[in-house]
Structure 1
């Protein structure tokens, strides 16, 4: 049989693709201990037939990283024809528990799927190559010495030659010719008067810490100050007690309009979305801050814009349902709010044509 190891959020997508394109019996191995025991009891193998081990009922087993670690003793006993790991950059750390667990598995063929095999340094790439071919890529020290930080053109060209037998790369433009080239626009936004006053107050309140500089004992304080400033730039309501103070001071203004006008970024988003809606576009908005997504959600409700949302609180099946509602051909959903951490992994949202990175 074949084993697919993927993030929980992409498991339903894998199952759907197998059902849509093949006649293979693909089962999802996930859930509580009792649920997994039921799968092993009724969907695992034909125990009545002869053979050691008995023939398996499934052709494909789709499971998550966590299940591999939890049920390693069970899954590693099977001799897999093919092992495929989705979002395989998760394996880039040599201390990663998942890659050490998968090294115990028996498989004839290995497929690692990732859009970012190299993110920070060549050691991460070595980890993946060592997993694929441990005999050839035995020493990380030798690999790092040979390719270093890839500053020289010769090193890059040599690495391309080394990767050629192992790497199959497909760009979007290679697969789908009708996709327009990506256009990136950086929009500089001025802080509102309210934001400026709180930004200044954060500096004044923390003058002593800032004056100390980046001493080891002072680093936590500096990081906290930086986070407060980031919150202020994203929306002053992210700062504790600010929303109540602003609403109290501006009692005559509508609370929703006050929420928009208090933040330069939200003023811009308000203008952008009006034009994008008029043009028939569909929009993704990313933020690292859950509370910022709450504010954006309040804004979308106020503007009566149909939307979906994914953050760390949504389960795998709920996430897929939200994606399906947004992506349906007759969908009225205009905006999709996504937490960068939860929404940046293995999600297929090709129905949207515009992406706003709110925190930039």
Structure 2
């Protein structure tokens, strides 16, 4: 027994050291407090100018953050351009001709680098910009946990399989979110991000033409005027007909009236525990805001690279 004590001691010491190492790199809102104290004001001021110039940019940045985190974690992989050694996520089916905001993230990164060179990751910039997109659109504000690092790789295959398609039913949606350790409540709140932004005709054509039992007749008729049965794939319609540029609970009121623009959105009322959350959020903007913040923080914690993993990219579109 005595001979086992040194081994046990070393094992416990090793375990303690590993635990300390892991805990040392957990995400925290104060991660850049000393090394880049002006970070958040730089991000916010750049976002303010962008959204004043183009209000739709708020939804674009929020969606960019979502599509980043759902593919191998929040690591700025979605920002990478194609290279001879890998094909990036930008050309994946859910992203191709759809994701916007890359130039804005480049601008924010450039502004940050001027003040804090080689300090702030692109993944953290994207997380902060997404928070500011919500706040500047009238939504809640929260402290964003920081300390992520940027990946050196990307995967078009993962983007094609991990992002929920607009045609998804509630079973598929629940499964995709659960795979990221997000509950039905988290899923419902996060999908409420569709209270701002636009969708292309090609993403909702089937819903308005072929699902008469799952959509308000008059609403479908109105949408058909700008989304013909053939052609006009890139014609746009607001995801939220009540207040398309304001972050509020109008999206859920639309769902209650069978006026969800996307099939996947209206599926939130097709059975399951999330139905109760849709009804609650339709009644209470406060409840929606609180749950959205909690869900965004959880989503932002999906498999981040920290410590010595990854890198701090000098340019968000390219590895160093």
TM-score band, normalised by shorter chain: under 0.3
Structure with more relative contact order (C-alpha pairs < 8 Å, separation 6 or more): 2
User: Could you say which structure has the higher strand fraction?
Assistant: 1
User: Could you say which structure has the higher helix fraction?
Assistant: 2
Q: What TM-score results when the alignment is normalised by the length of structure 1?
A: 0.22
